[in-house]
Amino acid sequence: MPQPPPAPHGRVGAFLRRHERAAWLAVGLVIALTAVGGYALFAPSARPLTQRDIDAAVLHTLKKQPPAPSPASVAYGVIAPSIVLVRRLGPEDETSGQDGGKAKPKNSPKSDPDERGTKKNDKSAKDERKEELRGLGTGVVFADSGLIFTCLHVIAGAERIGVTFGDGTESEVEVVSVQPENDLAVLRAKTVPDDLVPATLRSTRGLKVGDEVVAVGFPFGIGPSASAGVVSGLRREHFSEEGQRNLIDLIQFDAAANPGNSGGPLVTIDGDVVGIVTSILNPTDEGFFVGIGFAVPIENAASGAGFSPF
């Protein structure tokens, strides 16, 4: 029967007997390190990161993000709290119960079985609608005290004028001053919201043809609505059918404007007011927009209101 090998003698044997467990752990560690080193030595190296990898990762991330707001959207968000609906008030009107910007419909004309009578009623309804729209316009708040810019032709001849703020607050206004040469008027609201936000006025110095602009107002009483375009020209001259006078030094723009936009602001993509929309050019008598609108530079409006020059 074979005999087990003799145990080591001497100091070495005594050391191994005392530290047998640690010795085996050390042997295992050496084996593990040898295996890892061998794998690292013979395994294929990782592919270096390229610019294409980085671009793909960035594109993947961007696809998961919501789209950034457009410049027109940013501009509208800035100016919207400063926009008001301006409306002529009749003896029966009150500054409450308005419908947030929609023109109140007149009573429909009675139908006439006679064709000529029907045409007459249709023409009468159109005339009434035109007259109703003449009493609707837009204004922009430019001071904490409730001062508002609008067009003179919007309020001309009105005994009473009311405005509706963005939060629904309604108020009668008084006329502070008028500028017939610019078809402008300054109003002061008798009641203002607690969180009133005046618009920021910006000089037209540096404004260039091709700069992006946004017109905000109540076209046909619908709004507030925004339309985007560019500055089409500067220092234009135009005879205003609405104001019945020749206007000079105007900003020409191609952002859509229609009846009801009068008195509203023309703003930069930062939401700063550079002009007050006053008129549109149309070769027909229909009064709708064909691509040419005009605004009074804000310097002219501010000087008439007693503001310091920009």
Task: Indicate if 262 belongs to the active site.
Answer: yes
Report the distance separating Cα 71 and Cα 223, nearest Å: 19
Active-site option among 82, 153, 240, 254 = 153
Active-site option among 171, 183, 238, 240 = 183
C-beta of residue 100 within 8 angstroms of C-beta of residue 111: no
Give start and end residues of each alpha helix (H) in the chain. Answer: 10-18, 20-42, 51-63, 71-79, 115-134, 152-155, 298-304
Count of beta carbons in the 10 Å neighbourhood of residue 29: 10
Q: Cα 295 from chain centroid?
A: 19
Active-site option among 171, 232, 240, 262 = 262
275 contacts: CB under 8 Å, gap ≥ 6? 204, 251, 253, 265, 266, 295, 296, 297, 298
Task: Indicate if 153 belongs to the active site.
Answer: yes
Task: Indicate if 9 belongs to the active site.
Answer: no
C-beta of residue 287 within 8 angstroms of C-beta of residue 130: yes
Report helix, strand or coil for 6: coil
The 8-class DSSP code of residue 72 comes to: H
CA distance between the termini of the chain? 115
* Residue type at position 117: G
Would you please indicate which residues are annotated as catalytic (active-site) residues? 153, 183, 262
